[in-house]
């Protein structure tokens, strides 16, 4: 049996910093180093969706519908360019805005908004060419 996956990418320039408010300044600097200061990346988000290709259109999903969901889930919260303030999970310090946590956040945010006809399989976030993370649906 074959399955079709569609991959959609987008890049957003945004800043983030690492900080644990329950630690001393010294402990934060020891653990996070220079990353305690806000710094920017061109974050590349990649989403993989799967579903059935519509035999009439030849498409898995209406891209404009998928793009609207991505904009609402990902672009809108990051519009100000500051991940620590633009995303509730990081603003309330439930998690550090690490690449791993950004992948999880983006998967959770987008999976709630995509059309029922497709399934979000993974969310990948790269903060550099050589550093990225993936959050993926568990196989059931």
At 137 the pLDDT is 77
Flag whether pLDDT at 24 surpasses 70.
yes
Distance between CA atoms of residues 59 and 125, nearest Å: 25
Q: What is the dihedral of CA 80, 84, 90, 92, to 10 degrees?
A: -100
**Which has more pLDDT, 116 or 36?**
36
| Residue 80: band (very low, low, confident or very high) from pLDDT cuts 50, 70, 90 | confident
pLDDT category at 79 given cuts 50, 70, 90 is confident
* CA–CA distance, 122 with 48 (Å, rounded to integer): 5
Domains and CATH numbers, the chain: 4-136 (3.30.479.10)
pTM of the model: 0.91
Mean pLDDT of the chain: 94
Pair 123, 45: CB distance under 8 Å: yes
């Amino acid at each position: 049996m074959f399955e079709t996956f569609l991959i959609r990418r987008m890049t957003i320039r945004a800043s983030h910093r690492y900080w644990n408010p329950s630690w001393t300044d010294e402990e934060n600097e020891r653990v996070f180093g220079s990353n305690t200061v806000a710094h920017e990346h061109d974050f590349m988000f990649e989403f993989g969706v799967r579903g059935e290709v519509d035999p009439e259109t030849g498409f898995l999903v209406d891209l404009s519908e998928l793009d609207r969901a991505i904009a609402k889930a990902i672009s809108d919260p990051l519009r100000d360019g500051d991940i620590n303030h633009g995303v509730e999970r990081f603003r309330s310090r439930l998690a550090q805005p690490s690449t791993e946590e950004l992948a999880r956040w983006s998967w959770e945010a987008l999976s709630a908004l995509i059309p029922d006809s497709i399934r979000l399989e993974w969310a990948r976030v790269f903060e550099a060419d050589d550093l990225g993370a993936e959050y993926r649906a568990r196989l059931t």
